[in-house]
Chain A
């Protein structure tokens, strides 16, 4: 239990979520997700398919959710255009995005993105 907590340095302002909150989240998300997985596999013969209308909405979940996760991590609106664009995360993210698009390779995307982040953080903008 103490393996991680002993040596971790938390960022300033980072949360230290209490154990009850963590376990409630894990259990509720886990149960809901398992319910989704089991749903039609269990009900087959009674309910055979997702209604077409629902399916046509669900089709957009991955693109919408992933973009909503990624973009705010790379881009923060700042008072000036230059301050907004001259951000190591945005530059690294755009480079990694090009790699993701050309290679569709998770590993290559992470490596290029992290190297670019370090280059700008520790060398260019240092």
Chain B
């Protein structure tokens, strides 16, 4: 296999250990709220962004209005704009169609690995390295979803497997609170979401998230 492609696969493999259980949970959660396997797979392939998928599933489970499900998931994925801007110069030499394909694989992990590698190693074929990493993530994500659907359908409800959803978020949340303003964002976001949990239309999550974002912004303004 190609050396640059392999380098991407090799560098992403330790992260796949974290992605696999996340993907399983995405499959399990989909089944638990009443998605069939085609819909679960459609969600993982078409959206391909874990946190937003789990949030959407959770809201589906609570019978939230469609606009709230969509709005919440979209807010969660806004961060990808930053990745797109940051990686864009590295892909500028490629044609429009290639870039359109590469964009599909833009995830937190593929972004972080690729930008670090591009900065360090100028000889690397960028698209190959990026696809080695992003393609591996995709394969694990899709297979994990299918396995999760099958598992979720076979395990009794009383085991509370959907509790794995907040556990995944917790594992992602801790490293996201890396300095004082982001910690404020998390604390206010979480606190406001609890207080707002009774809001109509399941708007509590969105209200909590927006409060947290604003609080983090203010905390940074104050400290600088």
Query: B-contacting residues of A (Cβ < 8 Å)?
Result: 1-5, 7-11, 14-17, 19, 21-30, 32-34, 36-45, 48-50, 54-77, 89, 92-93, 96-97, 100-101, 104-107, 109-110, 113-114, 117-118, 121
Closest to A22 in B: B39
Chain B stretch 108-136: residues in CB contact (< 8 A) with chain A: none
Tally B residues with Cβ within 8 Å of A: 114
Contact of A118 with B159 at beta-carbon distance under 8 Å, contacts A7-B154, A17-B34, A33-B52 already known: yes
Q: Which of chain A's residues has its CB closest to B73's CB? A: A29
When the two chains form their complex, are residues B173 and A32 in contact, meaning their CB atoms are under 8 A apart? no
Residues on B with C-beta less than 8 A from A65 are: 51, 55, 75-76, 189, 209, 212-213
Provide the residues of chain A in CB contact with B195, threshold 8 Å.
77
B33 on the A face (CB < 8 A): yes
- B186: chain A residues at CB < 8 Å are 63-64, 66-67
Give Cα distance in the complex from A26 to B88, angstroms: 26
Additional A-B contact list (17), CB under 8 Å, known A59-B82, A60-B216, A96-B170:
A1-B36, A7-B153, A11-B32, A14-B61, A27-B46, A29-B70, A36-B78, A37-B104, A41-B102, A60-B215, A63-B176, A68-B189, A69-B54, A69-B205, A72-B208, A92-B163, A106-B19
- Residues B171 and A110 in contact, CB atoms below 8 Å apart: yes
Is A68 within 8 A of B190, CB to CB?
Answer: yes
Contact: A56 with B217, CB < 8 Å?
A: yes
CA distance A107 to B74 in the complex (A): 26
Distance of A2 Cα from B212 Cα, bound (Å): 41
CB distance from A43 to the nearest CB of B (A): 8
Contact A61 B79 (CB under 8 A): yes
Which chain A residues border B156 with CB–CB below 8 Å?
A: 9
Could you tell me which residues of chain B, from 193 to 212, have a CB within 8 Å of some CB in chain A? 193-195, 197, 204-206, 208-212
Of B17, B55, B81, B102, the residue contacting A69 (CB under 8 A) is: B55
Residues of A within 8 A of B96 (CB): 42
* Minimal Cβ-Cβ distance residue in B for A15: B63
Q: Which among A4, A9, A65, A96 has the highest number of chain B CB atoms within 10 Å?
A: A65
* CA–CA, A8 and B167, complex, Å: 23
Q: Are B216 and A42 in contact (CB under 8 A)?
A: no
B222 within 8 A of A: no
> B206 — which chain A residues lie within 8 A by C-beta?
68
Question: In this complex, what residue of B is CB-closest to A42?
Answer: B99
Smallest CB-CB separation from B31: which chain A residue?
A4
Q: Which of B29-63 contact A (CB under 8 A)?
A: 31-40, 42-43, 46-49, 51-52, 54-56, 58, 60-63
Report how far A110 CA is from B162 CA in the complex, Å: 11
Distance, CA A9 to CA B159, complexed state (A): 12
Q: Which of B52, B100, B102 contacts A29 (CB 8 A)?
A: B52
Contacts of A54 in B (CB 8 A): 81
Tell me the smallest distance from the CB of B138 to a CB of chain A, in Å.
Answer: 13
